[in-house]
Amino acid sequence: MRLARDGIPASPGIVIAPARVLRWEMPRVSAQGALTTGEPEAEVRRFREACAWARNQTREIQRQTEERLGGVEARIFEPQLLMLKDAELVERTESYIREGRLSAPRAWEMRVLEWESQWSHTANPMVLDKLNDLADVHARVLRRLLDLPELEPVLQRVGEPVVIVAPELAPSVVARIDPERVLGLALDGGTRASHASILARSLGIPAVVSLGAFSEQVPDGAEMILDGSTGRAVVGPGEEEKRIYRERDFRTREWEQEQLLLAHLEPVTLDGVRISLRANLDLPGEAVSARAHGADGVGLLRTEFLVIGRGTAPGEEEQYSAYRDVAETFSGKPVVIRTYDLGGDKFPPFLHMVPEENPFLGWRAIRVCLDEPALFHAQLRALLRAGARGDIRVMLPLVNEISEIKAAREMLERAASELGGEARSAARSLRLGVMIETPAAAICARDLARHVDFFSIGTNDLVQYTLAVDRGNARLAKQYNPFHPAVARLIKMVVDAGRDAGVEVSVCGELAANPLGAFMLIGMGVEVLSVGTSALAEIRKVIRSTDARDAARAAQVALQAFTPDEVVDALAAGLGRGTDVSIFGGTLGLPVPN
C-alpha cells in the first residue's frame, strides 16, 4: 500500500527508513477517585510534592537541553515551569482535594481537563502549543502521583533507526531524542514554529508537521520517505521513487559541500547586474555561518528568540548584547533587525495574550509593539545602542498605515533622546523600514515610501493574505502558491513604487530562496534578496547563471499570465533559455509528482 501525504516542511532533509508509530496514552486514574481513608491535607502535601518533583525534573530537562542545543531551545520549557506554579491550576486542584475529598490524581486530572476544555475549541497554533505543554506537565505530575516510572526518551530501547510517526510529540520527548536512532519526525499536528519543530531543526532531524490523521493510517514498521524540505511523506514507496529521492538527497549533500567554495564569488548576473545577497537569521549565533557562506549582510534578523517561551520580558542589556554581536560579525555591512513579530503563531507567556479565533488577523506584530510601549521602548533603546557598533537598520513588521510608521518613529526619537554619546549619533543616521506583507501595504506602497528608508517584501504572509489561504493549513497547501498572478503583480507594484521613490526594495520571504522565484524577482528589478544560510550558495548560482534581460522579459510575460501554472511556465522557459537548470541544487518550485 502506497500512501502519500503533504504537510508543512518543518526541518529540512530527506530520509528513507521504517516508520515507528507512537500513540501516547495518559496514565489511567481510578474513576472513583474519592478519599476513603486519611485526611485531605495529607493528600494535598502529596500533590505538592509531586508538583515540586515535576518542576525539578523540568528544570533538569531544561538544563540538559541548554547544554546540548542552546539557551533559546531551553527556554521552550519556561511555560511548563510557569504552569506548575499557576494558582488557577495548582491551587484549584488543592481545593478539589479539600472540598471534594478527591484523591490527588483525580483532582489533578479534573482540573487539567477543565483547562483543556477552555482552549480546545480553537485551532490557534499558539494555543495548540500550550495544550501540548499542558499534556507534558499533566503526565509528569500524574506519573509521580501514581508511582509510575517516567517515560524513557524515545527509542532508548530500539536498535534500528526509524522515522517517528505520531499525533504530536511533547517538548520533553523531542529534546531528548537521539538523532542516531530517530532519523525524522512525521507529526499529525504542529506548525513550523511549534516547539517540536524548533527542537527538530536544532537537532538536525528532518521533520514534516500538520499531516492530518497520518499516524492513524501508517502501519508500524512500514518503509517510508520523509522529505522535510518539501513537506512530503510517502509510505510504501516503489523502488523507482526511492531511487529518485536518494538521488535528490545525494545531490543536496553534494551541493552542501559546494556551498563554501561558492561563497567568495560575487552575486552578479551574466550581464553585470549586482544583486545584494543577504541572510535571514533566527538566532544571533547563525551570523558566523552566514558570513562564512558569503552573505552581504543580514536582510532579516528575527527577534522572537528573545521572547518565545519566556515568563518575563527580556531586558535591554540582553537584547543589546545579541544585536551587537550580529552587527560586529557583519562589520561594515547592513544588518536589518525586525522588531518583535509577536502574535499569530508566536505566543510569549508574559504578555498573557487572549486566544483569538483568527490570530494571524488579530493582535500581532507592530500592533502589539505600539500597544506595549514598555516592551517596544526597551527594544528600540537596545537597537539604537547596537547601532553604534555597525550598520543596524530597524524594520517594522505587518505595517498597513502611515500612522503606524509615524508612531514608531516618534518612539525611536524618544528613545534616542534618552541616550547619549555614540548611540545618539547613530540614531541620526539609522534607517527605518517596513515589511510589505499585506495587499493593503502593497497597494499603498507609494504612500508608505515617503515615510521610510527601505521596503522588505515578506512573501510568506503576502501570499497568505492575498490568497486568503492559511499557510499553516496542510489541506490548503496546493492553494498556497507564491506564483499566483495576483502575488506577482503586487510584488511588481511594490518594486516600482520603491524604485520611483529611491527606496531600497528587498525580498526576505521564502520566494527569494526559490530559484524560480529569485529569477522572477531579478526580472522585476529587485536588487536585494535575503535568504536562509542554506540557500545562499544556490541563489548565488542562480544569480550568476541569469541574464537580467532574459529575466525581465520572462517576468513581463509572467505578469500577463492568468494562472499560477502560466506564471511558472513563463519563468521556467526564461530561466531555461541559455541556462542548464540542472545545476541548481534545490527545487525550482515546480509541483512534486504524486
Domain map (residue ranges) of the chain = 3-22+154-237, 40-145, 302-434
Instruction: Give, as one character, the DSSP assignment of residue 274.
Output: B
Segment of 145-149, 242-246, 485-489 carrying the highest mean pLDDT = 485-489
Angle between helix 564-576 and 485-501 (nearest 10): 60
Distance (Å, whole) CA 477 – CA 230: 11
Q: Mean of the per-residue pLDDT values for the chain?
A: 87
Q: Does the pLDDT at position 257 exceed 90?
A: no
Distance (Å, whole) CA 172 – CA 84: 15
Catalytic residue among 51, 138, 195, 369: 195
Q: Does the pLDDT at position 592 exceed 60?
A: no
Which residues does residue 109 pair with via DSSP β-bridges, in sequence order? none
C-alpha closest to that of 229 among 15, 13, 17: 13
Do 287 and 298 form a contact (C-beta atoms < 8 A)? yes
Q: Does the pLDDT at position 255 exceed 70?
A: no
Distance (Å, whole) CA 236 – CA 222: 7
C-alpha closest to that of 123 among 195, 207, 210, 199: 210
**CA–CA distance from 415 to each of 86, 384, 390, 408, 510 (Å)?**
35, 8, 18, 11, 33
99 band by pLDDT with thresholds 50, 70 and 90? confident
307 band by pLDDT with thresholds 50, 70 and 90? confident
Higher-pLDDT residue of 103 and 478 is 103
Do 327 and 393 form a contact (C-beta atoms < 8 A)? no
The correct CATH number of 3-22+154-237 out of 1.10.10.10, 2.40.50.140, 1.25.40.10, 3.50.30.10 is 3.50.30.10
Q: Is 508 marked active-site?
A: yes
Determine what percent of the chain is predicted with pLDDT higher than 90. 57
What pLDDT is stored for residue 50 in this prediction?
95
Q: Does the pLDDT at position 116 exceed 60?
A: yes
Distance (Å, whole) CA 36 – CA 43: 11
* Strands laid side by side in the 182-187 sheet: 3-6, 232-235, 223-227, 14-21, 162-166, 182-187, 207-209, 8-11
Do 495 and 445 form a contact (C-beta atoms < 8 A)? no
Q: Does the pLDDT at position 559 exceed 70?
A: yes
585 band by pLDDT with thresholds 50, 70 and 90? very low
Q: What are phi and psi of 507, to 5 degrees?
A: -125, 125
Distance (Å, whole) CA 516 – CA 567: 10
Burial class (CB in 10 A: 0-12, 13-18, 19+), 541: buried
Q: Which residue has the cell 529575466?
A: 551
Q: Does the pLDDT at position 594 exceed 90?
A: no
Distance (Å, whole) CA 84 – CA 69: 24
Q: Does the pLDDT at position 58 exceed 90?
A: yes
> Which contiguous run of DSSP H or E holds residue 434?
strand 431-436
User: Which string of DSSP letters, residue by residue, matches 408-431?
Assistant: HHHHHHHHHHH--HHHHHHHHH-E
Q: Which residue has the cell 536588487?
A: 527
Copy the grid coordinates of residue 60.
533538569
Do 395 and 433 form a contact (C-beta atoms < 8 A)? yes
Higher-pLDDT residue of 110 and 312 is 110
CA torsion 395-398-399-404 (nearest 10°) is: -80
Higher-pLDDT residue of 75 and 387 is 387
pLDDT digits (tens, 9 = 90+) for 492-506: 999 999 999 999 999
Mean pLDDT within 79-108: 90
What pLDDT is stored for residue 380 in this prediction?
96
User: Which string of DSSP letters, residue by residue, matches 85-96?
Assistant: T-HHHHHHHHHH
Domains 40-145 and 302-434 agree in fold: no
**CA–CA distance from 419 to each of 315, 340, 396 (Å)?**
16, 21, 21
What pLDDT is stored for residue 362 in this prediction?
85
Burial class (CB in 10 A: 0-12, 13-18, 19+), 217: middle
Mean pLDDT within 419-447: 89
Distance (Å, whole) CA 430 – CA 67: 37
Q: What are phi and psi of 212, to 5 degrees?
A: 75, -140
3-state secondary structure of 457: strand
Cα 586 from chain centre: 20
pLDDT digits (tens, 9 = 90+) for 260-300: 677 788 999 999 999 999 999 988 888 998 998 899 999 99
pLDDT digits (tens, 9 = 90+) for 166-195: 998 888 889 988 898 999 999 998 887 788
Q: Does the pLDDT at position 426 exceed 80?
A: no
User: Which string of DSSP letters, residue by residue, matches 486-547?
Assistant: HHHHHHHHHHHHHHHHT-EEEE-SGGGGSHHHHHHHHHHT--EEEEEGGGHHHHHHHHHT--
425 band by pLDDT with thresholds 50, 70 and 90? confident
C-alpha closest to that of 225 among 214, 241, 212, 213: 241
pLDDT digits (tens, 9 = 90+) for 5-49: 999 888 889 999 999 998 777 777 876 556 666 678 888 999 999
pLDDT digits (tens, 9 = 90+) for 347-385: 676 777 676 777 778 888 999 999 999 999 999 999 999
User: Which string of DSSP letters, residue by residue, matches 147-197?
Assistant: TPPPPPPTTTT--S-EEEEES---HHHHTT--TTTEEEEEESS--TTSHHH
What pLDDT is stored for residue 84 in this prediction?
92
Higher-pLDDT residue of 361 and 234 is 234
Distance (Å, whole) CA 401 – CA 408: 11
**Assigned superfamily of 40-145:** PtsI, HPr-binding domain (1.10.274.10)
Catalytic residue among 51, 369, 444, 508: 508
What pLDDT is stored for residue 312 in this prediction?
79
Q: Is 51 marked active-site?
A: no
Distance (Å, whole) CA 503 – CA 432: 11
What pLDDT is stored for residue 488 in this prediction?
97
Three-state secondary structure readout of 39-50: CHHHHHHHHHHH
State in words which class domain 302-434 has.
Answer: alpha beta
Copy the grid coordinates of residue 95.
481545593
> Which contiguous run of DSSP H or E holds residue 443?
helix 439-443
Q: Does the pLDDT at position 336 exceed 90?
A: yes
